[in-house]
A and B are shown apart, each in its own frame.
Chain A
Amino acid sequence: MVEGINNFLGWEPDAWVGFVLTALIQVMILNVVLAGGALVFIWMERKISGRIQDRLGPTRVGGKFGWLQTLADGLKLLTKEDITPGEADPSLFKLAPYISLTASFATLLALPFANGWVGQEVNVALFFILAVLGLEVFGVILAGYASGSKWSLFGGMREAAQVVSYEVPVGLCAVIPVMICGTMNLVTIGNMQAGFFTNWLIFHDPFTFVVFWVYFTCAIASVNRAPFDLAEAESELVAGFHTEYSGLRWSLFFMAEYGSMFVVSGLASILFFGGWNGPIPVTHILSSVDANTLGWGDGSWAPFWTYLANAIGCINFILKAVLGVTVMIWVRWTLPRLRIDQVITTCWKYCVPLAAICFVGVMAWQAFQIPSGNDLPLPYQPIRAEVRETWAESTSSIGNAEQPTAEPADQVASVIIGEGV
């Protein structure tokens, strides 16, 4: 892309202009995903909650279905007065919404939308996303503290306790696909599940099927949505951490919330639902078509087919992520809010043990090589067996100090490193 832009503008292939423009374009696209996503999700939330409560939801603004309701809401929020309470710590109070939004936005940097369509392909993308997503709560805690209001402080502290607890099961659940695929690179994990829908990791074995639901529950809790939205429980805490906020700053918290809903749903779709691979491998066939099979000549169409496959894959991915968000909205308007002790109980007494059992189960499934539901191209399978044998050898010969046992391990290690991870 850098070279393409530079060629277009008439610069040298590696001039700085291309890099800057590429970065700007990618950031703008991600911005559109976040802001446009929030617009659509808020409209969906209004419509779905309306239908669940036997109402119509917005019907007037922008035509029949109230398409432009969110835009009208946004304009209203823009015109509201931006108030800082006298009791507040002004600079932290003003900064807090931006921290939440930045954390939510920064995760999109490493989230792939299709094969290779990612802001920055990070080797440890999954870990990076989980780490940065955990920072969103920082803005909430700061908002709760800096507002100088007891409602806000209660909300912030609840959020802190909740998020610190739920990071444990989310991490345990996310480790399981990593264990199966042998990498934390989300692009590789997505590409491994190419083929029919039976290749999706949720169908790998019964444990991954269970662990997806645990992941989804914990993801709802970690993005602070009902029934886990204790930080803003309006029946007891007025509005929790954002009691004192108004206007645009208030809406920034919600853009962050909808952004991270999209991110955790997207993560679920990559980890368990094949990411950008559709249920039937149409795009896979498309990208493997070259012009010669169709007899169209010189093969100059191959990049186009790859591009088309990626575009369809991107639509696939966004559809799956939006479906996840829809389920979150559905859950929010169906279940009542939990008490704080129930939230913590759900985490430590149900989600963590379930995730741990599934972790051990998937590990056993892999170790005993039980045939699994999907047919993944696992590049590390023979190497893993070698690693195990090496370990068995080295542990059995511990008493015999003369025998050098490091060598086979070294070879295996160099093979793994050479193959790339």
Chain B
Amino acid sequence: MNLLAAVNWHSVLFMLFALLACVFALAVVFSQNVVRMAFYLVLSLASTAGLFMLAGAEFVGAMQIMIYVGGTLVLLVFGVMLTAQSTFVSMKTSAPEWLLAALVGGSLLYVLFLAAFGTSDWTTARKDQQTVSVAESKAAAPIGLGLLGIRVDSLSQPNETLKAGQSGYLLAFEIVSVHLLVVLIGAAYLARTKRRRQEWET
């Protein structure tokens, strides 16, 4: 029983979700059926959402489910509708494609590892950050304020010049919003019924 008490359950759960995410990510790569690929992708992304929840970032976790998992759903629908010439289409990947993918993916992974293990804060665990209690996880308010132009995480920045630079993400947020609106209107324009054109031709 002392053994059970000594286990850091937070780490165990982290390992579980991380393992799930990695296994299903590999399954995406090695699967040949489009729909199964999308399904494994959903599971992998959902495991990542579990990691966020475990870290106490509930807002980011819910965002992960809403945007990535929900987005994959749309991807699945269009993947089936646009690519399926027959039922249960399978994709064969040729050897040069494997080589190219391995090269690109490997180099990106190398950069990621370099960044992850190069940051000293991330390699050494701090004693006070091993568990996150529910009451402390106020993730949504700082993010919302940051999007509105008030960065609460840089309140204690002593350097005035740096502080002026860290003034929030309102502009980026607005640009992204307008961009999405344009995409929405554009999609509606492209997908509209072209009745007038047909009448013109006939």
Chain A residues proximal to chain B, CB less than 8 Å = 15-16, 87, 89, 92, 120-124, 127-128, 130-132, 134-135, 137-138, 141-142, 145-146, 148, 157, 160-161, 164, 167, 184, 404, 406, 409-410, 412-414, 416-417, 420-421
Q: Give the distance in Å from the alpha carbon of A412 to the alpha carbon of B164 in the complex.
A: 17
Identify which of residues 139-186 in chain B touch chain A, using a CB-to-CB cut-off of 8 Å. Answer: 139-142, 145, 149-150, 152, 155, 160, 163-164, 167
- Which B residue's beta carbon lies closest to that of A91? B36
Measured CB to CB, the closest approach of chain B to A102, in angstroms, equals 10
A421 touches B140 (CB 8 A): yes
Stretch binding the partner chain, chosen from B74-82, B92-100, B107-115: B74-82
25 contacts between A and B (CB under 8 A): A16-B5, A89-B33, A89-B35, A92-B35, A92-B36, A92-B39, A122-B62, A123-B58, A124-B62, A127-B59, A131-B63, A131-B66, A131-B70, A134-B73, A146-B35, A148-B87, A157-B77, A406-B164, A410-B150, A410-B155, A413-B150, A416-B141, A417-B141, A420-B138, A421-B140
- What is the interface of chain A mostly: helix, strand, loop, or mixed? helix
| Residues in chain A near residue B152, CB distance under 8 A | 410, 413-414, 417
A184 touches B134 (CB 8 A): no
| Residues in chain B near residue A167, CB distance under 8 A | 70
| Residues in chain B near residue A127, CB distance under 8 A | 59, 62-63, 66
Measured CB to CB, the closest approach of chain B to A45, in angstroms, equals 28
Q: Give the distance in Å from the alpha carbon of A127 to the alpha carbon of B140 in the complex.
A: 11
Measured CB to CB, the closest approach of chain B to A363, in angstroms, equals 14
Q: Give the distance in Å from the alpha carbon of A417 to the alpha carbon of B6 in the complex.
A: 35
Measured CB to CB, the closest approach of chain A to B8, in angstroms, equals 11
**B4, B140, B141 interface centre (most CB from chain A within 10 Å):** B141
| Residues in chain A near residue B5, CB distance under 8 A | 15-16
| Residues in chain B near residue A128, CB distance under 8 A | 58, 61-62, 65
Q: Is B51 an interface residue (CB 8 A)?
A: no
Chain B residues proximal to chain A, CB less than 8 Å = 4-5, 9, 33, 35-36, 39, 42, 58-59, 61-63, 65-66, 69-70, 73-74, 76-77, 80-81, 87-88, 134, 137-142, 145, 149-150, 152, 155, 160, 163-164, 167
Q: Give the distance in Å from the alpha carbon of A16 to the alpha carbon of B2 in the complex.
A: 11
- Further 9 A-B residue pairs, CB within 8 A, beyond A123-B137, A137-B73, A412-B150: A124-B59, A131-B70, A157-B77, A157-B81, A406-B163, A406-B164, A409-B150, A416-B145, A417-B145
- Which A residue's beta carbon lies closest to that of B140? A124
A142 touches B39 (CB 8 A): yes
| Residues in chain B near residue A416, CB distance under 8 A | 141, 145
A138 touches B42 (CB 8 A): yes
| Residues in chain B near residue A184, CB distance under 8 A | 140
| Residues in chain B near residue A161, CB distance under 8 A | 77
| Residues in chain B near residue A138, CB distance under 8 A | 42, 69, 73, 76
| Residues in chain B near residue A135, CB distance under 8 A | 65, 69-70, 73
- Which B residue's beta carbon lies closest to that of A161? B77
**B42, B80, B134 interface centre (most CB from chain A within 10 Å):** B80
| Residues in chain A near residue B88, CB distance under 8 A | 89, 148
B150 touches A124 (CB 8 A): no
| Residues in chain A near residue B145, CB distance under 8 A | 413, 416-417
**A123, A130, A146, A420 interface centre (most CB from chain B within 10 Å):** A123
| Residues in chain B near residue A413, CB distance under 8 A | 145, 150, 152, 155
A160 touches B77 (CB 8 A): yes
Measured CB to CB, the closest approach of chain B to A190, in angstroms, equals 17
Selected from B35, B140, B149, B167, the residue in CB contact (under 8 A) with A142 is B35
A124 touches B58 (CB 8 A): yes
Q: Give the distance in Å from the alpha carbon of A184 to the alpha carbon of B137 in the complex.
A: 13
Measured CB to CB, the closest approach of chain B to A138, in angstroms, equals 6
Q: Give the distance in Å from the alpha carbon of A332 to the alpha carbon of B164 in the complex.
A: 57
A145 touches B140 (CB 8 A): no
| Residues in chain B near residue A417, CB distance under 8 A | 138, 141-142, 145, 152
Measured CB to CB, the closest approach of chain A to B135, in angstroms, equals 8
**A16, A92, A145, A160 interface centre (most CB from chain B within 10 Å):** A145
Measured CB to CB, the closest approach of chain A to B12, in angstroms, equals 11
Measured CB to CB, the closest approach of chain A to B152, in angstroms, equals 5
**Given A128-B62, A146-B35, A414-B155, A16 contacting B9 (CB threshold 8 A):** yes
Measured CB to CB, the closest approach of chain A to B180, in angstroms, equals 12
- Which A residue's beta carbon lies closest to that of B61? A128
B65 touches A131 (CB 8 A): yes
**Given A130-B66, A137-B73, A421 contacting B141 (CB threshold 8 A):** yes
Measured CB to CB, the closest approach of chain B to A173, in angstroms, equals 16
Q: Give the distance in Å from the alpha carbon of A409 to the alpha carbon of B154 in the complex.
A: 12
- Which B residue's beta carbon lies closest to that of A142? B39
| Residues in chain A near residue B167, CB distance under 8 A | 406
Q: Give the distance in Å from the alpha carbon of A409 to the alpha carbon of B168 in the complex.
A: 11
Q: Give the distance in Å from the alpha carbon of A161 to the alpha carbon of B4 in the complex.
A: 49
| Residues in chain A near residue B62, CB distance under 8 A | 122, 124, 127-128, 131
Measured CB to CB, the closest approach of chain B to A31, in angstroms, equals 20
Q: Give the distance in Å from the alpha carbon of A15 to the alpha carbon of B73 in the complex.
A: 41
